[in-house]
Chain A
Amino acid sequence: GESVGLHLPTLSVQEGDNSIINCAYSNSASDYFIWYKQESGKGPQFIIDIRSNMDKRQGQRVTVLLNKTVKHLSLQIAATQPGDSAVYFCAENMDGGFKTIFGAGTRLFVKA
């Protein structure tokens, strides 16, 4: 099938290690942020979100950190597994609006 993310930045990690994927967002007025995971041949899948009144939110094996001062978002994946291999996109919404702006994406490759 078609491969997503042929020319994207790539992060390569060993199975079992923690992964950190970073994202610089564009608009200081953005108030809602989302991380999506996209596997090859599939649509993006929601992972975790965070609102601008928070700086950290945890899910199952994932943590999102938000630094509004420098407009930076990160996704931490604990104990990375081969099934985590995919392209990860950050996305931002502004002023509660509908329009979601997606980042360029980072390809995560997990070595067994």
Chain B
Amino acid sequence: GAGVSQSPSNKVTEKGKDVELRCDPISGHTALYWYRQRLGQGLEFLIYFQGNSAPDKSGLPSDRFSAERTGESVSTLTIQRTQQEDSAVYLCASSLQPGNQPQHFGDGTRLSIL
């Protein structure tokens, strides 16, 4: 498709399990972002990738969170030893270039930790 694709769309898992979320950005977009959105809240920046540069991980809330991106393609966000407060929608966005450009969002992965 032409837009940002995220999978799975919904994920329910038990506390303590690891989860992996996937993002396919728009082809040709060099910048990729991950955000967390708790229910009724705004978007919380997690991590940013730009081409082959080192990612900015300054928004990751703990060392249980990590993310990878291969070149300018797919990215995965991994949460280890999940906790109930990790329950949220995880949104991925991409933009053609970094900086002052609108971001194109996927529809997110709704993560529920039991």
- List chain A positions with a Cβ less than 8 A from chain B: 2-8, 31-32, 34, 36, 41-46, 49, 51, 89, 93, 96-105
Q: What are the residues of chain A within 8 A of B39 when measuring CB–CB?
A: 2-3, 6
Contacting pair B110 A2 (CB below 8 A): yes
Q: How far is the CA of A98 from the CA of B110 in the complex (A)?
A: 25
Q: What are the residues of chain A within 8 A of B98 when measuring CB–CB?
A: 97-98
Contacting pair A32 B89 (CB below 8 A): no
Q: What are the residues of chain A within 8 A of B31 when measuring CB–CB?
A: 98
Contacting pair B40 A6 (CB below 8 A): yes
Contacting pair B42 A96 (CB below 8 A): no
Q: How far is the CA of A48 from the CA of B55 in the complex (A)?
A: 27
Q: How far is the CA of A93 from the CA of B33 in the complex (A)?
A: 14
Given contacts A43-B107, A98-B98, contact A104 B41 (CB under 8 A): yes
Stretch at the interface among B12-20, B43-51, B60-68, B72-80: B43-51
A-B CB proximity, top 4 nearest: A43-B105, A32-B100, A46-B102, A7-B40
Residue of A nearest to B6 (CB): A43
Residue of B nearest to A39 (CB): B107
Q: Is the C-beta of B1 less than 8 angstroms from some C-beta in chain A?
A: no
A sample of 14 inter-chain contacts (CB < 8 A) reads A2-B110, A8-B40, A31-B100, A34-B102, A41-B107, A42-B107, A43-B4, A43-B108, A44-B91, A98-B31, A98-B98, A99-B56, A104-B42, A105-B42
